A and B are shown apart, each in its own frame.
Chain A
Amino acid sequence: MSTQIPKQTEKADETAAETETDAPSKGDERRAEKRRRADERRRQREAEEAERAAADENTVELRVFRYDPDVEGKQEPRFDTFHVPFTKGMTVLDALMYARDSYDSSLTFRHSCRQAVCGSDAMFVNGGQKLACKTQIDELEEPIRVEPLPHAEVTKDLVVDMEHFYDQMEAVEPYFQTNEYPDGELEEQRQTRENREKIKMSTRCIWCSACMSSCNIAAGDNEYLGPAAINKAYRFAMDEREGEDVKQKRLEIIEQEHGVWRCQTQFSCTEVCPKDIPLTEHIQELKREAVKNNLKFW
């Protein structure tokens, strides 16, 4: 069902073996004949399978957004329908991979780890931002409509341009910085358990951009940092090891005009986050931090 890499290497070996012997022996001919027949049988079996899949009730209907700016005739966006045989535990990504491997090799989408860690396959499934590898088919209504993430430029089929998202993530300096070092040169920078618990959820972000795509404010305001970037800022601003100076610097970044104050608590990001990060909660906490930072009573 997947990329079928082992089969291809096998074939390559066989062709290499064939070119080595100049005159084909009787055995070679027999083997070639055998291979040809095996191929034929396999092809027949595949055709039968496809036929059965189409006739079988136990298939899922996928309606997949297609668009390819490079090919004339595919520049007009359209929906392609695929009937994929259902297997227990099948995810949307599994179904897409089956469709690509069995029906249309030009179907394009990003995926890598297939276990909700790499964050490359966030898609718009049945009208919601989902991680395709984490979304069970049997929990969805049919036909399943798969589209690229909204509010992002579509590059091809289900692939969107993530550059803007990455820019926003980098804007909050998503790496550990500190001016306060422990005494010994080889001493570790230890974090209290309580502090670790506080930032635990925010460290789970996999940069899939589902939240950014679901956010209505980010859609209308390109300069808005977006939920993911603010969550990243939270992760470091709340880390006690960074010290006061760095926290001050971080607060200055997030309390800008297009920082935390753009959030209007629609909770869309929190609803779609595949890692269940309480994004709105984190944004609200940073808002309170920003207020506390600037309020002075005298």
Chain B
Amino acid sequence: MSQSYNRGLIEDFSRWREFEAGMWAWIFHKFTGWVLIGYLFTHIAVLSTAIPASGAETAVLQAGNDVYTQTIVSLEGLLLVRVLEVGLLAVAVFHMLNGARLLLVDLGVGLESQDKSFYASLILTGAITVASVPTFIAGAF
């Protein structure tokens, strides 16, 4: 019931302590989903600089002086953007792996080991993220 009796902060905190694997998976899935939607819009904004750039002279394009290339180069020059890219990869990988897990849940496959598949997707996300760090951060410092 949503109009439940307000028992204050104490209850909320204990709830946090007692989350089970399935609940964490749900929360992370929601969170990563929203992050990906947010990224999608910034992605569109950056890519749409290619529209004015396409009208530029060939010489300008070859020299890399058009709006699109300039935007990309200046963004990639920022350390913050490099770090955020690693985060984005982590978010996307988790969302994909947990999405596959949810697919299995929807098909009714391996419901008894749903917590293990959540932990597995977490570990795999961590591994892939760590492996990607050299690629993303190379030359940033």
Contact = CB atoms under 8 A, between A and B. Distances in A.
B4 A150 contact: yes
Interface of A: 65, 67, 77, 126-128, 145, 147-148, 150-154, 164, 216, 219-222, 264-268, 270-271, 278, 280-281, 284-285, 287-288
Contacts of A127: 14-15, 17-18
Contacts of A222: 1-2
Nearest to B13: A127
Given A147-B7, A284-B105, A288-B108, 7 more contacts: A127-B17, A150-B11, A151-B1, A152-B1, A222-B1, A265-B105, A268-B23
Contacts of A152: 1, 4-5
B111 interface: yes
Nearest to B118: A267
B22 A153 contact: no
Nearest to B27: A266
B57 interface: no
Nearest to B18: A127
Contacts of B18: 126-128
Interface centre among B3, B4, B7, B107 (most CB of A within 10 A): B4
B20 to A, nearest CB: 5
Contacts of A128: 18
Nearest to A271: B20
A164 B3 CA distance: 12
B56 interface: no
A151 B4 contact: yes
A219 B11 CA distance: 14
Nearest to B115: A267
Given A265-B102, A284-B111, A145 B14 contact: yes
A219 B1 contact: yes
B38 interface: no
B106 A284 contact: yes
A145 B107 CA distance: 38
Interface string B1-38: 11111011001001101101111011000000000000
Contacts of A221: 2
A150 B5 CA distance: 8
Given A150-B4, A278-B111, A266 B23 contact: yes
A278 B108 CA distance: 11
Contacts of A270: 22
A220 B30 CA distance: 16
A-B pairs, top 8 by smallest CB distance, nearest first, are A267-B22, A127-B18, A127-B14, A154-B5, A266-B26, A271-B20, A151-B4, A281-B111
A216 B2 contact: no
A65 B11 CA distance: 11
A5 to B, nearest CB: 33
A224 B105 CA distance: 20
A258 B23 CA distance: 20
Contact of A77 (B4, B8, B105, B111): B8
Given A127-B17, A265-B22, A220 B2 contact: yes
Given A65-B7, A288-B108, A267 B1 contact: no
Contact of B20 (A147, A265, A268, A285): A268
Given A150-B15, A164-B1, A219-B4, A267 B20 contact: yes
Contacts of A278: 111-112
A280 B107 CA distance: 12
A153 B105 contact: no
Contacts of A151: 1-2, 4
30 contacts: A67-B5, A77-B7, A126-B18, A128-B18, A145-B14, A147-B11, A150-B4, A151-B4, A152-B4, A153-B3, A164-B1, A216-B26, A219-B4, A220-B2, A222-B1, A222-B2, A265-B22, A265-B26, A265-B106, A266-B23, A266-B26, A267-B21, A267-B115, A268-B20, A271-B20, A271-B22, A281-B111, A284-B106, A287-B106, A288-B107
